[in-house]
Copies of this chain bind each other. A is one copy, B any other.
Amino acid sequence: MTRIPVVERIMKANDDVALANRKLLDAHGVHAINIIAAPGAGKTSLILAVAAALAGRRRVGVIEGDLASDVDAQKVRAAGLPVHQINTGGGCHLDARQVSAALAQLPLDEIDVLLIENVGNLVCPVSFVLGEHTRLAISSVPEGDDKPHKYPTVFANVDALALNKVDLLTFMPYDVVEFERLVRTLNPEITFFQVSATSGAGIQDLANWLVELTA
């Protein structure tokens, strides 16, 4: 119980920096999406596919969050997008202070949509706002259709959900209807996409949603 006051101070400090991030983003006309998913759900691949689908309509920037390495940022940079890599060390989620430092490194006047790839983790990122306008969760077919039972907080606390790797539906048992039903018991108003960064399925729908968000 000694822990609670300290945790509250940390959360309050994070909220304050997140609010400053939000004001900075708004001042530059940038709409930020906090992307939350398990490791290997296909966050980076989906970012690249959506950014390509937005070409000529919206200018995309990216923040990559990982414990270590810049392999994701390298992929994004190779696609010609402005990107900043955050390494959390051992940290299990991004926090607003890390994003604040990243924002200072990005050309915000050249970005309409900022895609923030959080650390691969279905639990911890949910509790830390970064200053984002919208939260997008990604789940992937190989993870199984029972995930809403086991990780309810993430599904309950996002605006939209992309079920990725739907090209693999033919290779494994997965009940998409039951998955969506479970998700909607937790979050009736959620926007739900079925996508594949590999086949391109649903990518235009996701891109069109981002265009509408930033109309």
Contact = CB atoms under 8 A, between A and B. Distances in A.
Interface of A: 2-3, 6, 9-10, 38-40, 66-69, 71-72, 90-92, 119-124, 127, 140, 142-144, 146-147, 149-153, 165, 168, 171-172, 198
Contact of A6 (B2, B121, B171): B2
Given A38-B120, A40-B140, A171-B171, A71 B146 contact: yes
Contacts of A3: 6, 10
Contact of A90 (B6, B90, B123): B123
Contact of A168 (B90, B121, B127, B142): B142
B151 A120 contact: yes
Contacts of A150: 39, 66-69, 71-72, 120
Contact of A152 (B39, B67, B142): B67
B71 A151 contact: no
Contacts of A92: 92, 121, 123-124
Given A39-B122, A66-B150, A67-B151, 15 more contacts: A6-B6, A38-B40, A38-B120, A39-B151, A40-B143, A67-B123, A68-B152, A120-B122, A120-B150, A121-B122, A121-B123, A123-B124, A168-B168, A168-B171, A171-B171
Contacts of A165: 142
B153 A67 contact: yes
A153 B68 CA distance: 9
Q: Give the residue among A71, A92, A124, A152 with the most B Cβ atoms within 10 A.
A: A92
A175 to B, nearest CB: 13
Contact of A153 (B10, B90, B123): B90
Nearest to A3: B6
Contacts of A149: 66, 68-69, 71
A37 to B, nearest CB: 9
